[in-house]
Amino acid sequence: MKPKFVAIVLASMTAMAAAQGFQAGAPSEPAVRVEVVRTPDGGIQPQVVVDAEGTLHLLYYKGDPKSGDLFYTKRGKGATDFSGPLRVNSIEGSVVAIGTDRGGQVAIGKDGAVHVAWNGSAKASEKGSHERSPMLYARKPAGADAFEPQRNLMTASGVLDGGGSVAADSKGKVYVVWHGVPNGSKDRGESARRVFVAISHDDGATFGTEAAVSAPENGACGCCGLKAGTDAEGNLLILYRAAERGVNRDTHLLRSSDYGKTFSDARLDSWNLKSCPMTTASISHHGAATVVAWESHEDVRWARLNSEGTPGEICSAPESRTTRRRYPSAAVDSHGRVLLAWTEGMAWGAGGTVHWAAFESSGKALAGASGSAPDVPAWSLVSVFAVDGKFVVMR
């Protein structure tokens, strides 16, 4: 049986908003519509990409959070059902989701090739130890009906911890990104961690040796996931959390306009904290618009990038925060409006609720355009995307 969306009616609108829909800033724009759905097949940690043709590509996790599997499925534009799910990892149980900041990441490349990267579980480790946890990758080439055998891309680094990511473009460039410690380093702590990128120029058929691309003095926050993506021009973007001197856990945006040869580094904000906050980040683009989202000071924030990759005004959810907001995801629609979603109440091994807020293209929060829904599973997160004239929040 093909998995289907199970939708929830938006619950937290005012009576007027319920009758009229969420209204955008300009009268000529259609109302903002938000739909909340469950991940198909009982999965968690949904990762969604909508390609240029409107096809929805979905990656999700199933099984023991310490040792499970990734599944890929897709739904064509205008269709109501997903395709039959394909298991991505060739070694059963070789994926880890515990901590929520780990798990699988998906990108769509040249001619629709599917690229997936993930932190390997103890079952995939060479010695079953944290020291040798691999950064794994598998692809489904364009036109293929199955994923190729998984590969470990870590050769010049080790001590994998927080979640890695993957990005791809339409020209056959694929980037698998993670943070770890360079081989041979005597320091195995956060201050020695660097962001590494392994690059393929042939659509994932082969990869070069990973190279460190973050400033050595920044370190990297050990248990925090990073996020990689490409913008409309094919520039590579990486959001990661530093750990300078073990307390400066600032959010940085790395950007490369020459296919990973060189990078600029923009500090988005600062967060002084002695311990790792175990966070995730989000990168999304629609047409020429690119938005990034991250957590800072136990709140979630987003910003729109200009054509040079510089972030504009940093925006937060309009309501005052009463509890920690975590695991942000943001998407932009064809009108330039942004939906920011996040979770609340999530803790180690415990689920929570999903919340969201919509913003005009100017960054101004839309009055009344916010809501919440229950039942985000433990170890999961949410994924926001714009499709068929509405925003969808998958949990």
- Measured CA distances, 229 to 110, 166, 174, 253, 384 (Å): 14, 7, 10, 11, 15
Q: So what's the pLDDT on residue 186? A: 87
Q: So what's the pLDDT on residue 126? A: 64
How many angstroms separate the CA atoms of 91 and 63, rounded?
13
Q: So what's the pLDDT on residue 16? A: 29
Q: So what's the pLDDT on residue 5? A: 40
Q: So what's the pLDDT on residue 20? A: 31
Q: So what's the pLDDT on residue 178? A: 98
Domain 44-333: assigned CATH number: 2.120.10.10
The tokens for 280 are: 């995730």
How many angstroms separate the CA atoms of 36 and 44, rounded?
14
Domain edges within the chain: 44-333
The tokens for 188 are: 């195995």
Q: What is the pTM of this model?
A: 0.92
pLDDT (tens digit per residue) in 307-316: 888 899 999 9
Give the chain's residues under pLDDT 70: 1-28, 126-131
How many angstroms separate the CA atoms of 209 and 369, rounded?
46
Q: For 198, phi and psi rounded to 5 degrees?
A: -105, 130
Count CB neighbours of 313 within 10 A.
10
pLDDT (tens digit per residue) in 244-259: 998 999 999 999 999 9
